[in-house]
Amino acid sequence: MNLENYFPVLLFILIGIAVGIAPQVLGRVLGPHRPDSQKTSPYECGFEAFEDARMKFDVRYYLVAILFILFDLETAFFFPWGVAMRDLGWQGFITMMVFIAEFAVGFWYIWKRGALDWE
């Protein structure tokens, strides 16, 4: 086993570390560091924090975020399909109709379960 084959990998890792660390070190060394009471005060939307930052959130916020990511990723499949539709033929069309049907069933399910209802 020849270690020379791993030199590009080692070089890539070292350059990645340098690119990640060098700007931070340069900013710390060369940048001004003059903290005052205004800069070190807690800031939350322009006013002092009135509750603990670790307060409980309603699970619906997380559910909506996860559903958004899920459906956003699913709709990303529509763009390459639309571009390559003529090359895919009927098999590609039928496959995408099955995908759209699954998409619609999933959307109907989360709608009926009340995941999109706001009080």
Residue 83, domain CATH: 1.20.58.1610
Full residue range of the structural domain in which residue 105 is found: 57-119
Q: Is residue 52 part of a domain?
A: no
In whole angstroms, what is the distance from residue 15 CA to residue 18 CA?
5
pLDDT of residue 11: 94
Q: Is residue 90 part of a domain?
A: yes
Backbone angles phi, psi at 44, to 5 degrees: -150, 100
What domain count does the chain have? 1
Q: Is residue 71 part of a domain?
A: yes
Which pLDDT tens digit goes with each residue over 28-76?
A: 999 988 888 777 776 656 666 666 667 777 777 778 888 888 888 888 8
Q: Is residue 112 part of a domain?
A: yes
The CA-based angle 10-13-19, given to 5 degrees, is 140
Average pLDDT score, the chain: 83
Cβ neighbours of 116 (radius 10 Å):
13
Q: Is residue 75 part of a domain?
A: yes
pLDDT of residue 39: 75
Q: Which two tokens stand for residue 7?
A: 């030199």
pLDDT of residue 9: 93
Q: Is residue 39 part of a domain?
A: no
Percent with pLDDT over 70 in the chain: 87
